Homo-oligomer: A and B are copies of this chain.
């Protein structure tokens, strides 16, 4: 409750007029811009002007930033198998498969799925900056479907991926997958955590437990690549899809990062 006093009788009025005038002018200008935006001048020869856009939404900007920060920590893996010509006894390296990998630490360790390199004679790792490296196999854990490779990185080491935890994941939170599906490198796909603690049979008849299920598009070639949370932290390694057609049906799986955190140092120590 207040009584306004001593408001000068004339001063506000003109300034109000000026303000209103400016405001109206602004409104009309905005309407004109809008009109020209939604009614571009007709053109018989198909020339079209570009409609300006405002800023990207905050969640779009967040996804763009997440990808920019994470892509350097993702690698593309292609493997070759040595095949001996039975007549000439010459040995050829033939392309075998492609997959994805994660820069684990600054020593040059790269984590991927064991099934990406199973049966391979050599593996080539490509970084996001275009450099190619011949990878050495540190060691694999077939029963966990985890393998550790190593590349001889020099001064410009790619950044290790930030590590999260899979212990507090919730069904419904956003996830982001980066990988090499069908050889399409550094592909970003998004979705949510669809379920947790899935137990699935792997191809060898063993059971892989505590898998994260997602509806982000995971396809062959995504194997070994990172699944990230909305903070850009590694929460899992994409591993399998469930699909009658061999391509994404909105049901993909990832090994939880807590198992990687437990197993990868063991695998590296066992190799030394």
Interface residues of A (CB under 8 A from B): 1-7, 37-38, 40, 42-51, 53-54, 56-57, 59-60, 62-67, 104-107, 109, 148, 159-160, 162-165, 170-174, 181-182, 184-195, 198, 213, 215-217, 219, 229-231, 233, 242-251, 261, 264-265, 267-269, 272
Contact = CB atoms under 8 A, between A and B. Distances in A.
Contact of A251 (B6, B54, B173, B181): B181
Contacts of A5: 2-3
Contact of A245 (B2, B3, B148, B247): B247
Contacts of A104: 46, 48
B230 A56 contact: yes
A249 B251 contact: no
Contacts of A272: 45
A90 to B, nearest CB: 31
Contacts of A267: 46
A49 B216 CA distance: 26
Given A50-B163, A66-B172, A174-B57, A244 B245 contact: yes
A57 to B, nearest CB: 6
Contacts of A187: 194-195, 213, 251
